[in-house]
Structure 1
Amino acid sequence: MSRTADRRAADAWAAYRRLRQIVDAEIARDLEQGTGLSMPDYEVLEALAELRDPQACIRVRGLAAHLNWPHSRLSRQLGRMERRGLVAREPCERDGRGDDVLLTDAGQNALDSAVPAHRASIHRHFTDLLAPAQLAALTGIERTVAERRAAGAAP
Structure 2
Amino acid sequence: MSATSPDPGLPPGLNALSESEEAVMRAFGRILLVLPRAMNADLEAEQRMSLSEYSVLRHLSESPHRRMRMSELAQACDMSLSGMTRLAAKLETLGFVKRVKCDEDARGWNAVLTDKGLARLREAWPAHLSSVRRHIFDHLGDLDLDALAKTLNKIAGDA
- Structure 1 residue aligned with 2:104: 95
Asked whether the 8 Å contact 2:46–2:127 carries over to 1, the reply is: yes
Residue 130 (str. 1) matches residue 140 (str. 2):
yes
Larger Rg: 2
Aligned-pair RMSD on alpha carbons? 2.3
Q: Aligned partner of 1:131: which letter?
A: G
Asked whether the 8 Å contact 2:97–2:117 carries over to 1, the reply is: yes
TM-score of the superposed pair, with normalisation by structure 1: 0.79
Cα distance, 1:35–1:65 mapped onto 2, change above 3 Å: same
Asked whether the 8 Å contact 1:28–1:39 carries over to 2, the reply is: yes
The count of residues paired between Structure 1 and Structure 2 equals 145
Given candidates 39, 44, 57, the residue that maps to 1:45 is: 57
TM-score of the superposed pair, with normalisation by structure 2: 0.77
- Structure 1 residue aligned with 2:81: 71
Higher relative contact order (CA 8 A, sep 6+): 1
Given candidates 15, 19, 22, the residue that maps to 1:2 is: 15
Question: What is the CA–CA distance in structure 1 between the aligned matches of 2:59 and 2:74, rounded to whole Å?
Answer: 10
Any idea what SS the aligned residue of 1:58 has? strand
Q: Aligned partner of 1:141: which letter?
A: T
Give unmatched runs, 5+ long, in structure 2.
1-13
Given candidates 14, 21, 30, the residue that maps to 1:18 is: 30
Any idea what SS the aligned residue of 1:102 has? strand
Question: What is the CA–CA distance in structure 1 between the aligned matches of 2:46 and 2:124, rounded to whole Å?
Answer: 8
Any idea what SS the aligned residue of 1:37 has? coil
Any idea what SS the aligned residue of 1:133 has? coil
Pairwise CA distance, 1:10: 3.8
